[in-house]
Amino acid sequence: MTFGEKLQESRKRAGYSQEQFAEKLSVSRSAVAKWETGGGMPDIDNLRAISQLLDVSIDYLLDDDGRLDFSVVKEPVDINAFEKTGKCRSKYDAAVLAKYPDADSISPLIREKVLSKTERVLEWTVMPSFGLFNAADQIDKYGGNYLVERSGRQYLVSVTKDFITTSEIVKKITDKKFVIGKNKYKKAGYELI
């Protein structure tokens, strides 16, 4: 369940309409609607207020069905310091391989944004052949994504030109396709290890 789905479900369970909820938070109804449809996220102050108002934890709201641990490690990297060699098809592959040389496996992933209902409608009615939202998302988040397994643990690793970000995955992923948060992932057709 996404953040927006959890927020909407918790709001309804508490007996608030979007307007009543927005009034309690001192935000617009459209802000609440945007959060519930995945079009944005509240800031930390609003997250705290939402948690208290709906009597749910922030962890519950933000946790992607228990898949990711909240200990995220973000380290700077200079992507230009790496070269494509061996099985590496890009500098991003080389960077993750250098970071995890002792991994049991490293699977490159193809990432696609999970579209909100509004984005899906626009995607299929206004611009069906363009894939504009996913194209814009790919440009914005250019880099590589990887499923790394090491010592019985799995990690979702994202490599950009400036950072390597690692999140431990709590529930083991065995499928070739899976969803975490607002992203769909599919294992690419090759392995680094």
Domain edges within the chain: 3-62, 68-187
- Mean pLDDT, residues 37-53: 88
Phi and psi at residue 80, to the nearest 5°: -70, -10
CA dihedral 14, 19, 21, 22 (to 10 degrees): 170
Contact 156, 116 (CB under 8 A): no
Q: Is the pTM of the predicted complex or chain greater than 0.95?
A: no
pLDDT tens track for 161-185: 889 999 888 788 999 998 887 788 9
The CATH architecture of the domain made up of 3-62 is Orthogonal Bundle (1.10)
In the predicted model, is pLDDT for residue 42 greater than 80? Answer: yes
Contact 166, 157 (CB under 8 A): yes
Contact 158, 165 (CB under 8 A): yes
